[in-house]
Structure 1
Amino acid sequence: MGGDRLSSEELEQEKKYRITPFQQMMSSCTGALLTSVLVTPLDVVKIRLQAQQKALHSNRCFLYCNGLMDHLCQCINGKVNAWVNRPGHFTSTIDAFSKIIRNEGVLSLWSGLPPTLIMAVPATIIYFVSYEQLRVLFSDSYTKMTGVAEQPVIIPLVSGGLARLWAVTVVNPLELIRTKMQSKRLTYRELQQACADLYGARGLRGFWLGYIPSISRDVPFSAIYWGSYEGIKKMCGHEKDPSLSFSFMAGAVAGSIAGTATLPFDVVKTYRQIELGEVDFSEQKGQRLTTTREVFIKIYRTSGVNGLFAGFVPRIVKVAPACAIMISTYEFFKKFFTEYNRKLATE
């Protein structure tokens, strides 16, 4: 199928108004901050409800996600040794909101926010800027070869996958260190020793423990998400100038599609991340961790296909609004900066 054809002059004119990498960073940073602020209270309440209703194994780790990143807490004697371990009995979500605000103050709803801001925001910036740069590079190459301005869906799909691969590769050592800090509440001196033990036992490659399950989930998710999102925009005729409400809706739908398709990988990554939180880095090279393939087989043999799709509703409930808020905010500021650049060019 053909699309709108651009002359070389029109293509160069369109490039003038594109947002710069710094503006892309500002757009993605704003989206990450807004997503964190809006989604964290929902997850704080959910985790507090789970902590009182669910019997947690002694000395095990407890994983939760607020829409942007995973967090790991240590459980001691059946209790969560973290910000979720606070008094109060809640009968419902509304009751939890009310009692937390009344007894602990409204700021307690953002108790899990600091670790998110420390790492999720930089990781989101790397991811979105990489995606935008790759998408523009591939789109320009395609337009130059064909003269067609309309990009095929394969471009955002590949760009999203490669951007996430790069972001996970860069952030994985920090993710591993953060997991250890959250699982054992280490001091910085103890963390330094843990890193030294890890390097001594496994070498430099040790800092990429958990890398395979991370990319097994995140790379397909990003590829499917961006392919779906751009495909929805194209199908509905909003490819060039999506409104805020349309971006929100399309982001939620694309996030739901990607979240459903990659749920088995999310289950495996959760299992592996908890294992990494509990492993002792001071052990020698002989210490063996379960492989991603072994986890898949174990879950399948134990619980069948249903086990690989465990937690479907909670994952979609978190992923859909987080994706919707993030992409609609990002698109809004992309449009804002594009208009800003257009005004500068015409003055």
Structure 2
Amino acid sequence: MELSSDRVVAPLEMSQTQSQDDESPRSDGESYESLPPHASVTTHMTAGAVAGVLEHSVMYPVDSVKTRMQSLQPDPNAQYRSVYEALKKIIRTEGVFRPLRGLNITMMGAGPAHALYFACYERVKHSLSDIIQSGGNSHIANGVAGSVATVLHDAIMNPAEVIKQRMQMYNSPYRGLLDCVRTITRTEGVGAFYRSYSTQLTMNIPFQAVHFITYELMQEQLNPHRLYNPGSHILSGAAAGAVSAAVTTPLDVCKTLLNTQENVALNSMNISGHLTGMANAFRTVYRLGGPAAFFKGVQARVIYQMPSTAIAWSVYEFFKYFLTKQQLEQEAGSGPL
């Protein structure tokens, strides 16, 4: 989404009676696209928080399957050929709510993490675009903004990811969220919650750079006039999610190993203590499964990311539009008659 600062912004009017023969391209959609410079940080944060919670919660069962499918040496009872088979087997043998285990901590982290994520992205992209290509769309600005936003996002989400993935694993020993937090803190120390932070950043910075660049490229093709167009936001988001998920799956496998500290896999390698560092994780994955191991769970990861990213972008765009519309109406109502 392009934040244009060189247009004069008029109060938003959702007029459905505007003549289609009007040769001026300036419509309510274009006004929407011009609105973000006047949107407050609160608007971006609220829209981002709602989008983040929905993104993670709607497709959470598939994320649980992805975590299990990335196990390097899974239990014989936790080996799956497809996402559908995995969900069916988990529900049948472990209960209907098992795929939702860890959802609570994910939602607690996703709200504030995505609030900072989207607010930072919009502000940085807008500032850099004015410097690099005034009044235009800069893919460099999009990529840099996505990377900066990711640093803040992951600082909040990394502890939630550790807890979530520990609870998602087959035969997870934790009774619940608090038991998981207490056990990890007592046995591994507080640092365990950030053991995979550098790996997470190494994965998510290219993930988000590819994500945002793909999204903006798709928007240029599907929505060149930058109207408020839910269909284009959904398709662009889905494409961005699929491409970025596929190319960063090897790093995600390493991150999952660092987060879960998979005992069977580590014991088979005679690794005592806890595995740390992306380089060690990379070597361990390769020694246990070869090149193919780096793409374990890629199907589930793409299936999860496509709708999740589509949901995040469409919800974010809608709430940004809705909240900004309200803000402008209030400003117009309080202005001089």
Is residue 156–residue 227 contact of structure 1 (8 Å, CA) maintained in 2? yes
Assess if the C-alpha contact under 8 Å between 2:250 and 2:294 holds in 1. yes
Residue in structure 2 matching 1:116, options 85, 93, 106:
106
Is 1:33 paired with 2:56? no
Partner of 1:51: none
Q: Deviations over 1:157-206 (max 9, x none)?
A: 1111111122212443454466667754267488457536645xxxx755
* Identity between Structure 1 and Structure 2 (%): 22
CA RMSD of aligned residues (A): 4.2
User: Aligned-pair distance for 1:258?
Assistant: 0.5
* Shift, 1:272, TM fit: 1.6
The one-letter amino acid paired with 2:127 is L
Change in 2 beyond 3 A, CA 1:341/1:219: same
Larger relative strand fraction: 1
The alignment partner of 1:218 has SS state of helix
Deviations 1:137-169 (A, max 9, x none): 323444xxx5x3112111111111111122212
Q: What is aligned with 2:286?
A: 300
Kept after mapping to 1: 8 A contact 2:49/2:111:
yes
CA contact (8 A) 1:210 1:276 kept: no
Judging changes above 3 Å, is the alpha-carbon distance between structure 1 residues 193 and 298 closer, same or farther for their aligned structure 2 residues? closer
Cα deviation per residue 1:301-330 (whole Å; 9 max; x = unaligned)? 554432222222221111111111111111
* 1:39-95 C-alpha deviation (Å, 9 max, x unpaired): 235567xx4xxxxxxxxxxxxxx9359xxxx9x9xx9x9778xxxxxxxxxxx76x9
Does residue 1:185 correspond to 2:185, yes or no? Answer: no
Could you say which residue in structure 1 is the equivalent of 2:38?
18
- 1:134–1:159 Cα contact (<8 Å) kept: yes
- Structure 1 residue 262 displacement after superposition: 0.7
Is 1:338 equivalent to 2:324 in the alignment? yes
Q: Give ranges in structure 2 of 5+ residues lacking alignment.
A: 12-33, 79-83, 265-271
Aligned partners of 1:17 and 1:193: how far apart in 2?
46
Distance change >3 Å, CA 312–CA 16, structure 1 → 2:
closer
Asked if the contact 1:180–1:277 (Cα under 8 Å) also holds between the matched residues in 2, the reply is no
The 1-side partners of 2:297 and 2:38 are apart by 40
Q: Return 5+ residue gaps in structure 1 as ranges.
A: 48-61, 81-91, 279-285
Aligned to 1:323: 309
- Please report the TM-score for the alignment, with normalisation by the length of structure 1: 0.67
Give the distance between the partners of 1:324 and 1:16, measured in 2 at CA.
Answer: 20
**CA displacement at 1:266 relative to structure 2:** 1.0
- 2:261 alignment partner, SS class: helix
- Counting matched residue pairs gives 291
Name which of 124, 130, 140 aligns with 1:154. 140
Q: Is the 8 A contact 2:159 2:194 kept in 1?
A: yes
Name whichever of 209-218 and 219-228 sits farther off.
Answer: 209-218
Query: Partner residue of 2:118?
Result: 128
1:217 Cα shift? 1.4
2:174 maps to a residue whose letter is R
